[in-house]
């Protein structure tokens, strides 16, 4: 279903070796070790827990317009799941903001998407609109809990802005 390819700028990448529908787990990763802190290769599991996972999960590129999402799995790591149909030969990628609250992984993004944000941007660094879009596609349990527990001003409903202000006071 998937294989390893090589990209001039990104190095090793993961490619679809056949057409894959949306909603398919293409990789179920396992924990390879704990990272002392966030780095280019770690995936965030909790506020202060950063994992190294096995390959090919470790290799998935960042894209600002991803065809995969992450889903916490039974091994304490992540499954990677298609969020739209992909064609044979397509590069498989997820938005690093689906797992990372802040991202240090990609300083200059070359995803080529019209939505490109220029680098890999962590979830907490995204706009409300971008956060909502990633939540719709799927984010880690850790980020979903953070997202659902964080009051946000909603401009269309003034009282919610007021409620958010009161929480801060």
Q: Given the rule CB under 5 A, which residues bind Zn ion?
A: 64, 109, 111, 116
Residue with smaller CB distance to Zn ion, 66 or 77:
66
Nearer to Zn ion, 127 or 150 (CB): 127
DSSP 50: E
Least distance to Zn ion, CB of residue 66, Å: 10
Which CB atom, from 51 or from 70, has the smaller least distance to Zn ion?
70
Between 64 and 70, name the residue whose CB sits nearer to Zn ion: 64
Query: What region, left, alpha or beta, does residue 23 occupy, with left being phi > 0 and alpha being psi -120 to 50 degrees?
Result: left
CB of 109 to Zn ion, least distance (A): 3
d(CA 100, CA 98): 6
We find the least distance from the C-beta atom of residue 112 to Zn ion, in angstroms, to be 7
> For residue 67, which of 143, 153, 138 has the smallest C-alpha distance?
138
Q: What is the DSSP letter of 144?
A: H
Shortest CB 83 distance to Zn ion, Å: 16
When the beta carbons of 114 and 156 are compared against Zn ion, the nearer one is 114
Best CA proximity match to 70, nearest among 58, 56, 82 = 82
12-34 core/surface letters (b: 16 or more CB in 10 A; e: else): ebbbbeeebeeeeebbbbeeeee
Q: How far apart are CA 118 and CA 51, in angstroms?
A: 25
Closest CB 155 distance from Zn ion, rounded Å: 27
């Amino acid at each position: 279903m998937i294989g390893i390819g090589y990209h001039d700028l990104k190095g090793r990448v993961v490619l679809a070796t056949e057409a894959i529908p949306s909603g398919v787990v293409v990789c179920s990763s396992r924990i390879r070790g704990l990272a002392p802190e966030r780095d280019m290769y770690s995936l965030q599991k909790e506020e202060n827990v950063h994992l190294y996972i096995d390959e090919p999960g470790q290799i998935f590129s960042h894209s600002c317009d991803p065809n995969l999402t992450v889903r916490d799995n039974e091994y304490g790591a992540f499954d990677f799941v298609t969020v739209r149909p992909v064609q044979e030969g397509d590069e498989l990628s997820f938005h690093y903001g689906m797992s990372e609250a802040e991202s240090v992984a990609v300083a200059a993004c070359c995803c080529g998407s019209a939505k490109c944000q220029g680098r890999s941007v962590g979830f907490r660094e995204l706009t409300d609109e971008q956060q909502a879009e990633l939540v719709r596609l799927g984010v880690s349990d850790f980020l979903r809990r953070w997202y659902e527990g964080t009051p946000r001003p909603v401009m269309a409903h003034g009282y919610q802005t007021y409620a958010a202000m009161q929480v801060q006071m």
